[in-house]
Amino acid sequence: MRAIKALVRDAARATRDDMLHAVDANLEEMGLVDDVRLPGGIASGDVEVRLAMPHRGRPMWRYLGNPLAARVRAILGVRSVTVRPADDGAWGAHRMASRAWEGLGLPEVGQGPDGMAVGGQG
- φ and ψ at residue 84, rounded to 5 degrees: -150, 165
User: How much is the pLDDT for 105?
Assistant: 76
Give 25-53 pLDDT, tens digit per residue: 889 988 889 999 999 988 899 999 999 88
Average pLDDT over residues 50-68: 79
Say if residues 52 and 86 touch (Cβ distance below 8 Å): yes
SS (H, E, C) the chain: CCCHHHHHHHHHHCCECHHHCCCCCECCCCCCEEEEECCCCHHHCEEEEEECCCCCCCCCHHHHHHHHHHHHHCCCCCCEEEEEECCCCCCCHHHCCHHHHHHHCCCEEEECCCCCEEEEEC
Confidence of residue 56 (pLDDT cuts 50, 70, 90): low
Whole-model pTM?
0.75
User: How much is the pLDDT for 20?
Assistant: 72
**Topology (CATH level 3) of domain 4-121:** GMP Synthetase; Chain A, domain 3 (3.30.300)
Question: ∠73-99-120 over CA atoms, to 5°?
Answer: 135
According to DSSP, the residues that pair with 32 across neighbouring strands are none
Task: Give the residue extent of every domain in the chain.
Answer: 4-121
